[in-house]
Amino acid sequence: MNALPSMSLEGQVAVVTGAGSGIGKAVALALAEAGADVIPCERSGHQDRLGKVCEAIQEVGREAYPASLDLPDLDSIDAMVTHAVGQAGRVDILVNNAGINIPSDALDVTESEWDAVMDVNLKGLFFCSQRVARIMKDHGGGRIVNMASQNGVVAYYKRAAYCSSKAGVVNLTRVLAVEWAPHQINVNAVGPTFILTPLTQSTFDDPDLREDLVSRIPLGRVGQPEDVTGAVVFLCSPAASMITGHTLLVDGGWTAL
């Protein structure tokens, strides 16, 4: 028995939702570099984002099978899973990365805004997990990593719906871990702090807001997508085989204060 557990994902097949940019793109490439073939998913109408992602996956010698995925539409989820199994034969890893945020004061949040955030961040994540877990169960197990947020355990302004959805992800992760442990499916979450991506750039363009965010992070900087990938690869790897139901916070120390 080796004293140092492997973090290799050689021979694994991974689905990554919201893989067209930002954290999802970085995660898809990191999983490929660790040895996995990847099904990167993006919304219909945004498939052009996956071109460079697939090229980068293939450059490290892994296969890429791009897929369309419109959350929380169950027909779209089923079509994605059918595509993944048809192309790669199985799914060993699912990274539920796709998510949205609609900043608004709690007094002003509309029903449509609330539903939109919950539909993608929680409902879509659950049914992706359910559909993929059915495949994993029949193939001896697998790993599911949900992209939660530090805002699933602490609050921040103008994020009533977002914080609620991510808190739901944190506890849903625990529930699925308990229910699916008998099937050897490990379910964990990663909770990043504020990460600089194309989708969050407008947040950081506000100098006062950026200063406030950085002041709350003991390491003194906002995160980059690559800061998140190590945690995801670790939780998908043999090195994390005894970890399930956990949320690993990648927050620069924010929640330690």
Please provide the DSSP assignment of 53-117 as one string.
HHHHHHHTT--B--EE--TT-HHHHHHHHHHHHHHHS---EEEE-------B-TTT--HHHHHHH
Is the distance from CB of 20 to CB of 97 less than 8 angstroms? no
Burial of 240 (0-12, 13-18, 19+ CB in 10 A): buried
- Quick one: pLDDT at residue 250? 98
Q: What is the pLDDT of residue 120?
A: 98
For strand 93-96 and strand 37-42, is the pairing parallel, antiparallel, or unpaired?
A: unpaired
Count the helices and strands in the chain (H runs, E runs). Answer: 9, 7
- All residue ranges of the chain with pLDDT < 70 are 1
Neighbours of 98 (CB within 10 A): 24
Note the pLDDT of residue 1: 60
The rounded distance, in Å, linking the Cα atoms of 156 and 26 is: 25
**CA separation (Å) from 249 to 5, 79, 131, 231?**
22, 32, 26, 9
pTM for the whole thing? 0.96
Q: Structure tokens of 202?
A: 């407008």
CA 80 to chain centre: 16
Annotated catalytic residues are 162
Q: Residue 237: in which H helix or E strand, if any?
A: none
Which secondary-structure segment (H or E) carries 242? none
